[in-house]
Amino acid sequence: MNTRPVALVTGSRRGIGLAIARKLATDGFDLFITGTDPDSAEETLADLRQYGARAFYLSGDISDLQVHDRWVNQIQRDTGRIDCLVNNAGMGAVVRGDFLELLPDNFDRVISVNLRGTMFLTQAVLKVMLQQPRDGRPKSIINVTSVSASHASPDRLDYCVSKAGLAMWSQGLALRLAGEGIGVFDVRPGIIRTDMTAGVTEKYGRLIANGLVPAGRWGEGDDVANVVTSLASGAFAFATGSVIDVDGGLSIGRL
């Protein structure tokens, strides 16, 4: 019988996802991480295991629905349970620019990763999670969306649409799962220092310096991880359906 809770964190080999996985490991979770490059996974697994966690790698692209059942079956074989799904995997716009020039293939790619793949992986996980005995352990689905779920960026509307869709998915899931004792949360990072934002460091550094973020600094992966692990602990179970902005005050309306 596995005595540690088990979390699946998608897109967790770097950036926000890795910070979340590390914090969950220190908080007593065993981990499954996902990615498309198994050759480089061992370093990440070794990193997580130093915190006392059992850590496993699930290889594949979340947009490929064929891999979801394989992932879930491996989780059942290796640990026999899953208590927390953190939907963190995502990608930015393939090309930033005028929406009138957006290519359907680029739109489809962003949607397939950020929304379609995430939705159907959640479905596959829940079919297992709902069969587990209600043994008092906290269970949660935590969707890492973005401030872009509510704040439009005209040069990457495909990304914004994908995150807004995931935000609505979170609301529907919260209603469906409240009676099952599974908390659902929408965590919205703002401007976070990651590989994804490396190409716009100068732009956003300047905007932050000019007051865009009231907290006056970049967000870090640990800022998001601290919120996610608190939600995974079950301490906020009755707040299911909540949206948590992790953006240093960026999304607060101002005059």
DSSP secondary structure, 115-176, as one string: IIIHHHHHHHHHHHHTTS---S--EEEEEE--GGGTS--GGGHHHHHHHHHHHHHHHHHHHH
CA–CA separation, 144 and 225 (whole Å): 10
- Cβ 180 vs Cβ 166: under 8 Å: no
CA–CA separation, 7 and 86 (whole Å): 7
Which residues sit opposite 184 in a β-bridge? 141
CA–CA separation, 63 and 250 (whole Å): 30
Residue keyed to tokens 């587990």: 132
**159 catalytically annotated:** yes
CA–CA separation, 114 and 90 (whole Å): 5
The catalytic position among 51, 57, 159, 204 is 159
Which active-site residues does the annotation give?
Answer: 159
